[in-house]
Structure 1
Protein backbone atom coordinates (compact mmCIF):
# COMPACT_ATOMS: atom_id res chain seq x y z
CA UNK A 1 0.00 0.00 0.00
CA UNK A 2 1.36 3.42 -0.94
CA UNK A 3 1.49 6.30 1.52
CA UNK A 4 -1.20 8.09 -0.51
CA UNK A 5 -3.54 5.07 -0.29
CA UNK A 6 -2.90 4.72 3.45
CA UNK A 7 -3.79 8.36 4.04
CA UNK A 8 -7.10 8.34 2.19
CA UNK A 9 -9.50 9.83 4.76
CA UNK A 10 -12.54 7.57 4.45
CA UNK A 11 -11.05 4.95 6.79
CA UNK A 12 -9.90 7.19 9.64
CA UNK A 13 -11.03 10.83 9.45
CA UNK A 14 -14.35 11.58 11.11
CA UNK A 15 -16.29 13.95 13.29
CA UNK A 16 -16.19 13.42 17.02
CA UNK A 17 -12.70 11.89 16.85
CA UNK A 18 -10.82 14.92 18.10
CA UNK A 19 -9.02 17.77 16.30
CA UNK A 20 -8.18 16.95 12.70
CA UNK A 21 -4.44 17.40 13.15
CA UNK A 22 -4.61 14.88 16.03
CA UNK A 23 -6.44 12.40 13.80
CA UNK A 24 -3.83 12.79 11.04
CA UNK A 25 -1.02 12.47 13.57
CA UNK A 26 -2.64 9.30 14.94
CA UNK A 27 -3.00 7.87 11.42
CA UNK A 28 0.66 8.53 10.63
CA UNK A 29 1.74 6.84 13.87
CA UNK A 30 -0.43 3.83 12.99
CA UNK A 31 1.28 3.63 9.62
CA UNK A 32 4.75 3.81 11.16
CA UNK A 33 4.01 1.21 13.83
CA UNK A 34 2.28 -1.21 11.44
CA UNK A 35 4.92 -0.92 8.73
CA UNK A 36 2.52 0.61 6.20
CA UNK A 37 4.89 3.59 6.29
CA UNK A 38 8.26 1.80 6.49
CA UNK A 39 11.54 3.34 7.75
CA UNK A 40 13.18 5.75 5.29
CA UNK A 41 10.04 5.93 3.14
CA UNK A 42 8.99 9.39 2.02
CA UNK A 43 5.67 11.04 2.79
CA UNK A 44 3.76 12.84 0.06
CA UNK A 45 4.37 16.64 0.08
CA UNK A 46 2.17 18.65 2.46
CA UNK A 47 0.19 20.02 -0.50
CA UNK A 48 -0.65 16.53 -1.72
CA UNK A 49 -1.62 15.30 1.76
CA UNK A 50 -3.88 18.35 2.16
CA UNK A 51 -5.59 17.67 -1.19
CA UNK A 52 -5.92 13.94 -0.47
CA UNK A 53 -7.38 14.36 3.03
CA UNK A 54 -9.26 17.63 2.36
CA UNK A 55 -7.42 19.16 5.31
CA UNK A 56 -5.76 22.55 5.32
CA UNK A 57 -1.99 22.72 4.83
CA UNK A 58 -1.78 24.34 8.28
CA UNK A 59 -3.43 21.25 9.79
CA UNK A 60 -1.13 18.90 7.87
CA UNK A 61 1.96 20.87 8.87
CA UNK A 62 0.93 20.88 12.55
CA UNK A 63 0.52 17.08 12.54
CA UNK A 64 3.86 16.48 10.81
CA UNK A 65 5.79 18.95 12.94
CA UNK A 66 4.57 17.17 16.07
CA UNK A 67 5.99 13.89 14.78
CA UNK A 68 9.24 15.62 13.82
CA UNK A 69 9.60 16.81 17.44
CA UNK A 70 8.93 13.25 18.65
CA UNK A 71 11.65 11.91 16.35
CA UNK A 72 9.32 9.75 14.23
CA UNK A 73 9.62 11.81 11.06
CA UNK A 74 12.70 13.55 9.66
CA UNK A 75 12.57 16.55 7.35
CA UNK A 76 15.45 16.68 4.90
CA UNK A 77 16.26 20.01 3.30
CA UNK A 78 15.17 19.96 -0.33
CA UNK A 79 14.00 16.32 -0.17
CA UNK A 80 10.84 16.28 1.94
CA UNK A 81 9.64 14.32 4.97
CA UNK A 82 10.77 10.76 5.69
CA UNK A 83 9.90 8.11 8.25
CA UNK A 84 12.87 7.79 10.57
CA UNK A 85 14.47 4.46 11.24
CA UNK A 86 13.80 3.32 14.80
CA UNK A 87 16.72 3.86 17.17
CA UNK A 88 17.50 1.13 19.67
CA UNK A 89 17.42 2.69 23.12
CA UNK A 90 20.32 1.97 25.44
CA UNK A 91 20.39 1.91 29.21
CA UNK A 92 23.37 3.49 30.93
CA UNK A 93 23.92 3.04 34.63
CA UNK A 94 24.45 6.08 36.82
CA UNK A 95 26.02 3.89 39.49
CA UNK A 96 29.40 3.31 37.81
CA UNK A 97 32.00 5.76 36.51
CA UNK A 98 32.83 4.41 33.06
CA UNK A 99 33.74 5.86 29.69
CA UNK A 100 31.59 5.87 26.55
CA UNK A 101 34.04 3.44 24.91
CA UNK A 102 33.77 1.02 27.85
CA UNK A 103 29.96 1.26 27.90
CA UNK A 104 29.67 0.45 24.20
CA UNK A 105 32.32 -2.31 24.34
CA UNK A 106 30.22 -4.11 26.97
CA UNK A 107 27.39 -4.09 24.45
CA UNK A 108 29.65 -5.48 21.74
CA UNK A 109 29.56 -2.22 19.77
CA UNK A 110 32.51 -0.56 18.10
CA UNK A 111 32.91 3.17 18.73
CA UNK A 112 34.31 5.91 16.53
CA UNK A 113 34.92 9.60 17.12
CA UNK A 114 34.80 12.70 14.97
CA UNK A 115 37.11 15.23 16.56
CA UNK A 116 35.73 18.74 16.96
CA UNK A 117 38.53 20.09 19.19
CA UNK A 118 41.64 18.60 20.77
CA UNK A 119 44.54 20.55 22.23
CA UNK A 120 45.78 22.94 24.90
CA UNK A 121 43.75 26.11 25.51
CA UNK A 122 43.54 29.00 27.95
CA UNK A 123 41.35 28.03 30.89
CA UNK A 124 37.85 29.47 31.17
CA UNK A 125 36.54 31.02 34.37
CA UNK A 126 34.67 27.78 35.15
CA UNK A 127 37.81 25.70 34.66
CA UNK A 128 39.97 28.06 36.74
CA UNK A 129 37.52 27.81 39.63
CA UNK A 130 37.08 24.03 39.41
CA UNK A 131 40.77 23.15 39.03
CA UNK A 132 42.18 25.86 41.32
CA UNK A 133 44.21 27.44 38.52
CA UNK A 134 45.55 30.97 38.10
CA UNK A 135 44.25 33.37 35.47
CA UNK A 136 46.06 32.72 32.19
CA UNK A 137 46.79 29.04 32.94
CA UNK A 138 46.10 26.46 30.25
CA UNK A 139 44.06 23.25 30.26
CA UNK A 140 43.76 20.22 28.01
CA UNK A 141 40.47 20.03 26.13
CA UNK A 142 38.91 17.38 23.91
CA UNK A 143 35.60 17.71 22.12
CA UNK A 144 34.14 15.05 19.83
CA UNK A 145 31.10 13.44 18.31
CA UNK A 146 30.79 9.90 19.68
CA UNK A 147 29.35 7.20 17.44
CA UNK A 148 28.45 3.58 18.14
CA UNK A 149 27.47 1.02 15.54
CA UNK A 150 27.86 3.71 12.90
CA UNK A 151 25.21 5.93 14.54
CA UNK A 152 25.83 9.36 16.15
CA UNK A 153 25.07 9.05 19.87
CA UNK A 154 26.58 11.89 21.87
CA UNK A 155 28.62 15.08 21.86
CA UNK A 156 31.31 15.16 24.55
CA UNK A 157 33.50 18.04 25.70
CA UNK A 158 36.04 17.41 28.47
CA UNK A 159 38.58 19.70 30.13
CA UNK A 160 41.44 18.56 32.40
CA UNK A 161 44.46 20.18 34.12
CA UNK A 162 47.67 19.74 32.14
CA UNK A 163 49.37 17.73 34.89
CA UNK A 164 46.44 15.27 34.67
CA UNK A 165 46.49 15.08 30.85
CA UNK A 166 49.73 16.64 29.56
CA UNK A 167 49.15 15.74 25.90
CA UNK A 168 45.51 15.57 24.76
CA UNK A 169 46.65 14.34 21.32
CA UNK A 170 47.36 10.99 23.02
CA UNK A 171 43.60 10.45 23.33
CA UNK A 172 42.56 8.54 20.24
CA UNK A 173 39.74 6.36 21.58
CA UNK A 174 39.11 6.20 25.34
CA UNK A 175 40.10 9.16 27.51
CA UNK A 176 39.89 7.03 30.64
CA UNK A 177 42.24 4.46 29.12
CA UNK A 178 44.88 7.19 28.75
CA UNK A 179 44.24 8.52 32.26
CA UNK A 180 44.47 4.99 33.65
CA UNK A 181 47.86 4.55 32.01
CA UNK A 182 49.02 7.86 33.51
CA UNK A 183 47.74 6.91 36.97
CA UNK A 184 45.20 9.74 36.86
CA UNK A 185 41.90 7.96 36.35
CA UNK A 186 39.00 9.50 38.33
CA UNK A 187 37.36 7.29 40.95
CA UNK A 188 34.11 9.17 41.54
CA UNK A 189 32.01 11.88 39.94
CA UNK A 190 29.03 14.15 40.49
CA UNK A 191 26.63 14.50 37.55
CA UNK A 192 23.80 16.89 36.78
CA UNK A 193 21.35 15.74 34.10
CA UNK A 194 18.96 18.14 32.36
CA UNK A 195 16.39 17.68 29.61
CA UNK A 196 16.93 20.08 26.70
CA UNK A 197 15.91 20.73 23.12
CA UNK A 198 18.86 20.44 20.76
CA UNK A 199 19.91 23.53 18.83
CA UNK A 200 20.52 23.47 15.09
CA UNK A 201 24.27 22.71 15.11
CA UNK A 202 24.01 20.06 17.82
CA UNK A 203 21.03 18.41 16.12
CA UNK A 204 22.81 18.31 12.76
CA UNK A 205 25.85 16.58 14.31
CA UNK A 206 23.64 14.04 16.09
CA UNK A 207 21.51 13.37 13.03
CA UNK A 208 18.19 14.51 14.51
CA UNK A 209 15.81 17.37 13.85
CA UNK A 210 16.44 20.81 15.34
CA UNK A 211 14.55 21.08 18.62
CA UNK A 212 14.60 17.31 19.21
CA UNK A 213 14.83 16.13 22.81
CA UNK A 214 18.29 15.67 24.25
CA UNK A 215 19.97 15.02 27.59
CA UNK A 216 22.59 17.43 28.86
CA UNK A 217 25.03 16.00 31.41
CA UNK A 218 27.51 18.12 33.35
CA UNK A 219 30.00 15.98 35.27
CA UNK A 220 32.77 16.80 37.72
CA UNK A 221 35.16 13.89 38.28
CA UNK A 222 37.56 13.42 41.20
CA UNK A 223 40.78 11.55 41.91
CA UNK A 224 41.10 9.35 44.99
CA UNK A 225 42.77 12.32 46.74
CA UNK A 226 39.62 14.38 46.29
CA UNK A 227 41.16 16.63 43.66
CA UNK A 228 38.99 17.67 40.69
CA UNK A 229 40.43 15.91 37.63
CA UNK A 230 37.89 16.51 34.88
CA UNK A 231 34.97 18.69 33.82
CA UNK A 232 32.74 17.11 31.18
CA UNK A 233 29.76 18.53 29.32
CA UNK A 234 27.91 15.97 27.19
CA UNK A 235 24.82 16.02 25.01
CA UNK A 236 23.06 12.71 24.36
CA UNK A 237 20.30 11.93 21.89
CA UNK A 238 17.08 11.75 23.84
CA UNK A 239 15.73 9.01 21.58
CA UNK A 240 18.66 6.68 22.18
CA UNK A 241 19.41 6.72 25.90
CA UNK A 242 17.78 5.83 29.20
CA UNK A 243 19.84 6.54 32.30
CA UNK A 244 19.22 4.10 35.13
CA UNK A 245 20.12 4.44 38.82
CA UNK A 246 19.85 1.67 41.40
CA UNK A 247 18.52 2.90 44.75
CA UNK A 248 18.90 1.02 48.00
CA UNK A 249 17.56 1.62 51.50
Structure 2
Protein backbone atom coordinates (compact mmCIF):
# COMPACT_ATOMS: atom_id res chain seq x y z
CA UNK A 1 0.00 0.00 0.00
CA UNK A 2 1.25 3.48 -0.83
CA UNK A 3 1.51 6.26 1.75
CA UNK A 4 -1.07 8.25 -0.22
CA UNK A 5 -3.61 5.42 -0.01
CA UNK A 6 -2.81 4.84 3.68
CA UNK A 7 -3.54 8.49 4.48
CA UNK A 8 -6.91 8.53 2.69
CA UNK A 9 -9.31 9.88 5.34
CA UNK A 10 -11.92 7.14 4.89
CA UNK A 11 -9.54 4.62 6.44
CA UNK A 12 -8.93 6.32 9.77
CA UNK A 13 -10.71 9.63 10.40
CA UNK A 14 -13.47 9.14 12.98
CA UNK A 15 -15.91 11.62 14.47
CA UNK A 16 -15.37 10.06 17.89
CA UNK A 17 -11.61 9.57 17.47
CA UNK A 18 -10.51 12.74 19.25
CA UNK A 19 -8.79 15.81 17.84
CA UNK A 20 -7.93 15.44 14.16
CA UNK A 21 -4.27 16.32 14.68
CA UNK A 22 -3.96 13.41 17.15
CA UNK A 23 -5.70 11.06 14.72
CA UNK A 24 -3.25 12.11 12.02
CA UNK A 25 -0.29 11.67 14.38
CA UNK A 26 -1.43 8.15 15.14
CA UNK A 27 -1.90 7.38 11.46
CA UNK A 28 1.56 8.63 10.54
CA UNK A 29 3.06 6.70 13.46
CA UNK A 30 1.29 3.56 12.23
CA UNK A 31 2.73 4.15 8.75
CA UNK A 32 6.20 4.15 10.33
CA UNK A 33 5.46 0.95 12.28
CA UNK A 34 4.25 -0.80 9.12
CA UNK A 35 7.31 0.28 7.16
CA UNK A 36 5.45 2.55 4.76
CA UNK A 37 7.63 5.36 6.09
CA UNK A 38 11.07 3.91 6.81
CA UNK A 39 13.73 5.40 9.13
CA UNK A 40 15.41 8.38 7.50
CA UNK A 41 12.70 8.74 4.84
CA UNK A 42 11.15 12.17 4.32
CA UNK A 43 7.54 12.74 5.25
CA UNK A 44 5.35 14.05 2.45
CA UNK A 45 5.26 17.87 2.50
CA UNK A 46 2.61 19.48 4.71
CA UNK A 47 0.79 20.71 1.61
CA UNK A 48 0.61 17.19 0.17
CA UNK A 49 -0.55 15.63 3.46
CA UNK A 50 -3.25 18.29 3.76
CA UNK A 51 -4.47 17.49 0.24
CA UNK A 52 -4.45 13.71 0.90
CA UNK A 53 -6.27 13.94 4.23
CA UNK A 54 -8.58 16.89 3.67
CA UNK A 55 -7.14 18.59 6.77
CA UNK A 56 -5.81 22.11 7.10
CA UNK A 57 -2.08 22.72 6.99
CA UNK A 58 -2.31 24.04 10.57
CA UNK A 59 -3.69 20.67 11.67
CA UNK A 60 -1.01 18.80 9.72
CA UNK A 61 1.73 21.00 11.18
CA UNK A 62 0.46 20.35 14.72
CA UNK A 63 0.39 16.59 14.11
CA UNK A 64 3.98 16.55 12.84
CA UNK A 65 5.13 18.74 15.71
CA UNK A 66 3.67 16.19 18.12
CA UNK A 67 5.59 13.38 16.43
CA UNK A 68 8.76 15.46 16.63
CA UNK A 69 8.20 15.97 20.37
CA UNK A 70 7.95 12.20 20.79
CA UNK A 71 11.22 11.69 18.92
CA UNK A 72 9.55 9.89 16.01
CA UNK A 73 10.21 12.66 13.51
CA UNK A 74 13.22 14.92 12.94
CA UNK A 75 12.46 18.37 11.54
CA UNK A 76 15.21 20.03 9.53
CA UNK A 77 14.89 23.71 8.74
CA UNK A 78 14.63 24.24 5.01
CA UNK A 79 14.59 20.49 4.27
CA UNK A 80 11.33 19.22 5.76
CA UNK A 81 10.48 16.45 8.21
CA UNK A 82 12.06 12.99 8.28
CA UNK A 83 11.33 9.73 10.07
CA UNK A 84 13.77 9.49 12.96
CA UNK A 85 16.42 6.77 12.64
CA UNK A 86 15.84 3.73 14.79
CA UNK A 87 18.38 3.52 17.62
CA UNK A 88 20.65 0.50 17.74
CA UNK A 89 19.32 -2.29 19.92
CA UNK A 90 21.56 -4.29 22.22
CA UNK A 91 21.11 -7.97 22.91
CA UNK A 92 21.55 -9.01 26.52
CA UNK A 93 21.85 -12.66 27.49
CA UNK A 94 19.67 -13.90 30.32
CA UNK A 95 22.04 -16.78 31.04
CA UNK A 96 24.99 -14.68 32.30
CA UNK A 97 25.14 -12.60 35.48
CA UNK A 98 27.02 -9.48 34.43
CA UNK A 99 26.98 -5.80 35.27
CA UNK A 100 25.90 -2.99 32.96
CA UNK A 101 29.51 -1.77 32.82
CA UNK A 102 30.75 -5.21 31.72
CA UNK A 103 27.99 -5.54 29.12
CA UNK A 104 28.80 -2.22 27.49
CA UNK A 105 32.58 -2.67 27.68
CA UNK A 106 32.28 -5.92 25.69
CA UNK A 107 30.55 -3.88 22.98
CA UNK A 108 33.33 -1.30 22.96
CA UNK A 109 31.13 1.40 24.51
CA UNK A 110 32.09 3.77 27.29
CA UNK A 111 29.75 3.91 30.26
CA UNK A 112 28.89 6.78 32.54
CA UNK A 113 26.67 7.00 35.59
CA UNK A 114 24.42 9.80 36.68
CA UNK A 115 23.53 9.41 40.32
CA UNK A 116 19.87 9.93 41.16
CA UNK A 117 20.13 8.93 44.82
CA UNK A 118 22.30 6.91 47.21
CA UNK A 119 22.30 6.53 50.96
CA UNK A 120 21.18 4.46 53.93
CA UNK A 121 17.43 4.19 54.44
CA UNK A 122 14.72 2.40 56.36
CA UNK A 123 13.81 -0.54 54.07
CA UNK A 124 10.48 -0.88 52.34
CA UNK A 125 8.38 -4.00 53.03
CA UNK A 126 9.44 -5.43 49.66
CA UNK A 127 13.12 -4.89 50.50
CA UNK A 128 12.70 -6.53 53.93
CA UNK A 129 11.24 -9.64 52.30
CA UNK A 130 13.61 -9.80 49.32
CA UNK A 131 16.78 -9.23 51.35
CA UNK A 132 15.71 -11.21 54.43
CA UNK A 133 16.26 -8.23 56.72
CA UNK A 134 15.36 -7.87 60.37
CA UNK A 135 12.51 -5.48 61.07
CA UNK A 136 14.87 -2.87 62.59
CA UNK A 137 17.61 -3.16 59.92
CA UNK A 138 18.64 -0.44 57.49
CA UNK A 139 19.36 -0.81 53.79
CA UNK A 140 21.82 0.73 51.34
CA UNK A 141 20.11 2.17 48.28
CA UNK A 142 21.60 3.17 44.93
CA UNK A 143 19.57 4.83 42.17
CA UNK A 144 21.47 5.50 38.94
CA UNK A 145 20.93 6.45 35.35
CA UNK A 146 23.22 4.30 33.22
CA UNK A 147 24.48 5.73 29.92
CA UNK A 148 26.38 4.13 27.05
CA UNK A 149 28.41 6.53 24.90
CA UNK A 150 26.31 9.31 26.42
CA UNK A 151 22.96 7.71 25.55
CA UNK A 152 20.57 7.01 28.47
CA UNK A 153 19.93 3.27 28.59
CA UNK A 154 18.53 2.26 31.96
CA UNK A 155 17.54 3.40 35.43
CA UNK A 156 18.80 1.05 38.13
CA UNK A 157 17.47 1.12 41.69
CA UNK A 158 19.39 -1.31 43.90
CA UNK A 159 18.97 -2.18 47.57
CA UNK A 160 21.62 -4.10 49.55
CA UNK A 161 22.02 -5.16 53.18
CA UNK A 162 24.54 -3.04 55.08
CA UNK A 163 26.48 -6.26 55.76
CA UNK A 164 27.11 -6.38 52.00
CA UNK A 165 27.50 -2.66 51.28
CA UNK A 166 28.00 -0.62 54.46
CA UNK A 167 28.85 2.58 52.55
CA UNK A 168 26.84 3.36 49.40
CA UNK A 169 29.25 6.24 48.66
CA UNK A 170 31.97 3.65 48.01
CA UNK A 171 30.36 2.76 44.67
CA UNK A 172 31.73 5.00 41.94
CA UNK A 173 30.83 3.30 38.64
CA UNK A 174 30.32 -0.47 38.86
CA UNK A 175 28.44 -1.92 41.84
CA UNK A 176 29.60 -5.43 40.99
CA UNK A 177 33.19 -4.18 40.73
CA UNK A 178 32.94 -2.72 44.23
CA UNK A 179 31.43 -5.94 45.59
CA UNK A 180 34.12 -8.04 43.87
CA UNK A 181 36.85 -6.02 45.60
CA UNK A 182 35.25 -6.91 48.92
CA UNK A 183 34.93 -10.59 47.96
CA UNK A 184 31.15 -10.28 47.86
CA UNK A 185 30.32 -10.57 44.17
CA UNK A 186 27.00 -12.35 43.44
CA UNK A 187 27.26 -15.61 41.52
CA UNK A 188 23.63 -16.27 40.62
CA UNK A 189 20.36 -14.37 40.37
CA UNK A 190 16.66 -14.71 39.77
CA UNK A 191 15.10 -12.20 37.37
CA UNK A 192 11.56 -11.23 36.50
CA UNK A 193 11.00 -9.20 33.32
CA UNK A 194 7.85 -7.24 32.54
CA UNK A 195 6.83 -4.95 29.70
CA UNK A 196 5.57 -1.60 30.94
CA UNK A 197 4.72 1.90 29.74
CA UNK A 198 7.34 4.35 31.02
CA UNK A 199 5.96 6.95 33.42
CA UNK A 200 6.43 10.67 32.88
CA UNK A 201 9.28 11.18 35.38
CA UNK A 202 11.29 8.16 34.25
CA UNK A 203 10.60 9.05 30.60
CA UNK A 204 12.21 12.46 31.12
CA UNK A 205 15.25 10.78 32.70
CA UNK A 206 15.58 8.22 29.88
CA UNK A 207 14.84 10.84 27.21
CA UNK A 208 11.90 8.95 25.75
CA UNK A 209 8.26 9.93 25.30
CA UNK A 210 5.91 9.34 28.27
CA UNK A 211 4.15 6.04 27.76
CA UNK A 212 6.97 4.63 25.61
CA UNK A 213 7.68 0.92 25.88
CA UNK A 214 10.05 -0.09 28.66
CA UNK A 215 11.38 -3.30 30.20
CA UNK A 216 11.08 -3.60 33.96
CA UNK A 217 13.54 -6.07 35.45
CA UNK A 218 13.41 -7.19 39.08
CA UNK A 219 16.51 -9.11 40.14
CA UNK A 220 17.51 -10.83 43.37
CA UNK A 221 21.21 -11.82 43.46
CA UNK A 222 22.92 -14.34 45.72
CA UNK A 223 26.43 -14.95 47.08
CA UNK A 224 28.15 -18.36 46.86
CA UNK A 225 27.05 -19.13 50.44
CA UNK A 226 23.39 -18.51 49.54
CA UNK A 227 23.02 -15.11 51.19
CA UNK A 228 21.01 -12.49 49.32
CA UNK A 229 23.36 -9.76 48.15
CA UNK A 230 21.17 -7.43 46.12
CA UNK A 231 17.59 -6.61 45.23
CA UNK A 232 17.40 -4.44 42.11
CA UNK A 233 14.59 -2.94 40.11
CA UNK A 234 15.74 -1.65 36.74
CA UNK A 235 13.93 0.09 33.92
CA UNK A 236 15.43 -0.32 30.44
CA UNK A 237 14.49 1.57 27.31
CA UNK A 238 12.34 -0.73 25.22
CA UNK A 239 13.85 0.68 22.01
CA UNK A 240 17.38 -0.13 23.12
CA UNK A 241 17.36 -3.68 24.48
CA UNK A 242 16.49 -7.21 23.44
CA UNK A 243 16.89 -9.88 26.10
CA UNK A 244 17.93 -13.27 24.74
CA UNK A 245 17.73 -16.68 26.39
CA UNK A 246 19.04 -20.01 25.10
CA UNK A 247 16.58 -22.85 25.58
CA UNK A 248 17.33 -26.56 25.42
CA UNK A 249 14.90 -29.42 24.96
CA UNK A 250 14.12 -31.00 28.31
CA UNK A 251 15.11 -34.67 28.61
CA UNK A 252 12.51 -37.17 29.76
TM range (shorter): 0.7 to 0.9
Give the alignment's Cα RMSD to 1 decimal: 3.5
State the shift of 1:122 in Å: 1.1
2:208 counterpart of 1:215: no
Residues 63 and 193 (structure 1), Cα distance of their counterparts in 2 relative to 1, 3 Å cut: farther
SS at match of 1:101: helix
Alignment of 1:186-225 (within 5 A): 186-225=186-225
8 Å contact from structure 1 (residues 97, 188) kept in 2: yes
- Secondary structure, counterpart of 1:33 in structure 2: coil
Cα deviation digits, residues 198-241 of structure 1 (max 9, x gap): 01001111111000000000001111111111000000000010
> 2:122 & 2:68 partners in 1: Cα distance?
39
- What is the aligned partner in structure 2 of residue 33 from structure 1? 39
Match of 1:139 in 2: 139
If the length of structure 1 is used for normalisation, what is the TM-score? 0.77
In the alignment, which residue of structure 2 is the partner of 1:19?
12
Q: Are residues 1:55 and 2:54 paired?
A: yes
2-structure distance, mates of 1:115, 1:94: 26
Deviations 1:93-129 (A, max 9, x none): 0000000000000000000011001111111111222
Please, which runs of 5 or more residues in structure 2 have no aligned partner? 14-23, 76-80
* Distance 1:61-1:222 versus aligned 2 partners, 3 A rule: farther
Per-residue Cα deviation, 1:60-113 (whole angstroms, up to 9, x for no partner): 6998699689963489xxxxx974342100000000000000000000000001
Deviation at 1:248, TM superposition (A): 1.5
| 2:210 partner SS | coil
Q: Is the 8 A contact 1:111 1:148 kept in 2?
A: yes
Counterparts of 1:23 and 1:163 in 2: how far apart (Å)? 54
More displaced 10-residue stretch of structure 1: 169-178 or 84-93: 84-93
